[in-house]
Amino acid sequence: MPSPRSLLASALPAAARRDFGEYGDDAPGRFFALVNPALMVWAWVTVPRQVDGTLRIAALVLLAVVSVVLVLRLFRPPAIGPSLWFPVMLGGAIAAGVLFAVAPGGVAPAFAPVIAGASGFLFETRRALVVAGVASITAAVGMVTRFDDARYAWVVVLGLAVLVGMTRRDRVRTLVLMREKIEQTDRAIASEARAQVLAERARVAREIHDVLAHSLSGVNMQLNLVEALMEDGRDDDARVAVATARSLVTDGLGEARRAVYALRDESGDLVGALRPLVAGTTESVAVEGTPRPVDADVVAHLTRIVGEALTNARRHAPGSPAHVSVVFALGLLTVSVENATPTGDPRFLDGAGLGLTGMRERADEIGATLVAGPRVDGDLAGGWLVRVEVTT
């Protein structure tokens, strides 16, 4: 159920709701938004009783002017632009000062400090002091002229009301800026969280695609081959194709397990993530330098690059030796995959194969440099080399 405060705030006009505290816990704003109308009603009831004759007419006229100014201040109609508020408040200050002198008793003297304080809230310092000064001087001159008594000159301290208004204005602006800052921070956090979610989705999608692209496409080709061989009555060859498809499924399951491991692993142990990728006696992993923790995202991408390189070596040079080396140098990490026999597949001689394209994309995502091509020196000269260098 809405609180009385919220119901009252919703019943006020938009400009009054700003004073009522829409910008935060603005207690002075709520006070003035409620007290000003009460002051006007009270003044209309009491002021006419305090003066007689011509002064009563003057008091009513002045009270009407002050009331109009305060009502405009409360509702802030769009027709009154920033350039018109100064003359409006200046006229209200003169009327309030004269009213102070005409009916010094009761509630009438309260309007001069109210207008001075409102000016401190609306205007910059110089204009606010002008309005307060005009109200003070008008009231002081009127009091001295009418009553011939300098004691009423204390009204010049109306300038203090400007300080109250300026303090309230600065506080409200601070609250507005704080709220905007909080909203901006919330939006930034939400945007960053969404970006992280999307990046993680892209990462998972890429891992799944890499596994399925290798295994399912190969299995599909072998099954199509089995169908063609069986139609030709070549059952023995069909059984070989089935065995190949089964091997591809087994390899795909292994790739899927390694992909899941890479996605779950947050330890930063690159060597531990690479060792399960090698298989058989012809593949090996060697480490140079002192192993150190590596960013989990870098580990995931390097693991997939090495897995892709080993898969290509097994596919295009089956049975040939393949060697994975990890070199931890100062500020640099180098991971290489070499196999002894060239692929012989012209699609890969220029480094433009689909697998190599994926490797380059992964290297770019971690700011690494990737080199892939025929090996021209060393024990594995004539073979294939994939090298990734990343700054750590």
Highest mean pLDDT among 69-73, 213-217, 333-337, 358-362: 333-337
> In the chain, where are the structural domains located?
4-186, 268-392
Give phi and psi for 95, each to the nearest 5. Answer: -60, -40
* Per-residue pLDDT tens digits for 274-289: 888 887 788 899 999 9
Q: Which stretches of the chain are assigned E, i.e. beta strand?
A: 283-288, 322-329, 332-339, 369-374, 384-391
- To the nearest whole number, what is the mean pLDDT of the chain? 75
Report whether 359 contacts 372 (CB < 8 A).
Answer: yes
Rounded to whole angstroms, the Cα distance separating 387 from 372 reads 6
- Model confidence at 320, pLDDT cuts 50, 70, 90, reads confident
Q: Cα–Cα distances in Å, from 79 out to 84, 85, 124, 147, 273?
A: 9, 10, 21, 40, 71
Locate 168 and state its tokens.
């309230």
pLDDT of 228 strictly over 90: no
Instruction: Report the distance separating Cα 74 and Cα 33, nearest Å.
Output: 7
Is the pLDDT assigned to residue 24 strictly greater than 50?
no
* Residue 338 to residue 113: CA distance in whole angstroms: 88
pLDDT at 324: 94
DSSP assignment of 274-329 equals HGGG--SSSEEEEEES------HHHHHHHHHHHHHHHHHHHHHSTTS-EEEEEEEE
Phi-psi bin for 339: left (phi > 0), alpha (psi -120 to 50), beta? beta
pLDDT tens digits for range 232-275: 888 888 888 888 888 777 777 766 766 666 566 555 688 888 88
Instruction: Report the side by side order of strands in the sheet with 283-288.
Output: 283-288, 322-329, 332-339, 384-391, 369-374
286 Rama sector, left if φ>0, alpha if ψ -120 to 50, beta otherwise: beta
Of 191, 57, 195, 45, which is closest to residue 106 (Cα–Cα)?
A: 45
Phi-psi sector, 105: left (phi>0), alpha (psi -120 to 50), beta: beta
pTM: 0.42
Residue 369, helix vs strand vs coil: strand
Tokens representing residue 331 in the block = 């500020």
Q: What is the CATH number of domain 268-392?
A: 3.30.565.10
Query: pLDDT at position 287, please?
Result: 94
Residue partners of 312: CB distance under 8 A and separation at least 6: 343, 348, 353, 355, 384
